């Protein structure tokens, strides 16, 4: 078979008749084909790099968001779930007992916080299964751990403010330990504390005045 790229009289006739493309067109076609091959290779590399990047991002998100709920444990699970929880992982443990209303309220709040902060490990345990003879007067108790070490502890109902405790109150309290990064701009109890302080300041002069009147 005759080479269509050869410079022959017959090929020249075929080119003039439009049967064969011009010599210049053939060169351009070859160049375009080469460029297309190069583009395809670069495109494939870019797609593969993007795929690997997205896969890495997905794995990182999956790792960070592997919780999202409060895990119930017993004493035999403590070492595995708390001490060996993982490097750089915050663990929040609630010791509670059935029948104590404030414990039930905190469990409810922790369920919401676990969904909001899925990169933090929230766990709960009946107190005496983790610490034998742990006194009920110390309940509820929350321990905050990092790398197996206690970073903060909240013991007894007074620390939590009793049944008036809101989820935002608990979120702020836990954020002060460093365990969670809250989006709250200030302590939810601050306006109440400010109002009480203002009330005390306003009433103090009145008491002094009334004392003077009584002395007269």
- Show the domains of the chain with their CATH numbers: 71-176 (3.40.30.10)
Rounded distance between C-alpha atoms, residue 125 and residue 130, angstroms: 7
Kind of pairing, strands 90-96 and 70-72?
Answer: unpaired
Rounded distance between C-alpha atoms, residue 124 and residue 102, angstroms: 14
Cβ(179)–Cβ(152) under 8 Å?
Answer: yes
Which mean pLDDT values do the consecutive 10-residue runs of the chain (216 residues) have? 65 70 63 69 77 75 74 93 90 97 98 94 96 96 95 97 95 96 87 52 54 52
Q: pTM of the entire structure?
A: 0.61
How many other β-carbons are positioned within 10 Å of the β-carbon of residue 110? 22
């Amino acid at each position: 078979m005759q080479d269509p790229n050869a410079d022959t009289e017959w090929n020249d006739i075929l080119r003039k008749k439009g049967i064969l493309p011009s010599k210049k067109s053939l060169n351009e076609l070859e160049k375009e084909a080469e460029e297309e091959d190069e583009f395809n290779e670069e495109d494939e590399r870019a797609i593969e790099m993007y795929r690997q990047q997205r896969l890495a991002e997905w794995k990182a998100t999956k790792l960070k968001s592997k919780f999202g709920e409060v895990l119930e444990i017993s004493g035999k699970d403590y070492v595995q779930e708390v001490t060996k929880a993982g490097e750089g992982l915050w663990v929040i443990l609630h010791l509670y007992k059935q029948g104590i209303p404030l414990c039930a309220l905190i469990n409810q709040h922790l369920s919401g916080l676990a969904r909001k902060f899925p990169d933090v490990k929230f766990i709960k345990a009946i107190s005496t299964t983790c610490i034998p003879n742990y006194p009920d007067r110390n309940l509820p108790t929350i321990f905050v751990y990092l790398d197996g070490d206690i970073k903060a502890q909240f013991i007894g109902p007074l620390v939590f403010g009793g049944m008036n405790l809101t989820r935002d109150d608990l979120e702020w309290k836990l954020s002060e330990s460093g365990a969670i990064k809250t989006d709250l701009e200030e302590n939810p109890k601050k306006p109440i504390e400010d109002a009480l302080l203002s009330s005390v300041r306003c009433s103090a002069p009145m008491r002094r005045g009334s004392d003077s009147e009584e002395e007269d």
